[in-house]
Amino acid sequence: MLLVAACPARATEARAGPPSLDYALNCQGCHRADGTSTPGSVPALAGSVGRFLRVPGGREFLVRVPGVAQAALDDTALADVLNWILERFGRDDLPQGFVPYAAAEVGRLRHQPLTNIQRVRRELIDALERAK
């Protein structure tokens, strides 16, 4: 009985780790350790993720994509890992005056999942191209 009671606590502790660990456990499987991803299947984070914050709707998009919105992290840990991703893989592309994600913002947005991720992503990329 003691072993069963100890397991949930260990799972909670694992999810409350540093953002780099949360990335490794929840994101790295698809987006790789270096954020490059697998071409043709999962979009790369490195060199592109920060750009989404430069267009209307991009900030919201990053929270609402299924892998983020449905991550097994609480709102605070998810905000922390998103901010870590942006600093690690998108620092050079962040807009001036970048404001890190807060837990309340993430909590609000993640409950509004995207229904057509490819269309929304394409619209955001088109907006980025027009803004050049």
d(CA 51, CA 55): 8
Cα–Cα distances in angstroms (integers) from residue 53 to residues 1, 11, 25, 83, 100, in the given order: 48, 32, 24, 12, 11
d(CA 128, CA 104): 27
pLDDT digits (tens, 9 = 90+) for 29-84: 899 999 998 888 888 999 999 999 999 999 999 999 999 999 999 999 999 999 99
pLDDT digits (tens, 9 = 90+) for 88-99: 999 999 999 999
- Short-list 86, 126, 89, CA closest to 106: 86
Output the domain CATH number for residue 44. Answer: 1.10.760.10
What total number of domains does the chain contain? 1
Amino acid at 35: G
User: What is the value of pTM for the model shown?
Assistant: 0.85
Cα–Cα distances in angstroms (integers) from residue 41 to residues 26, 34, 97, 110, 113, in the given order: 17, 16, 32, 23, 20
Residue range(s) defining the domain that contains residue 71: 2-131
φ, ψ for residue 104 (rounded to 5)? Answer: -65, -40
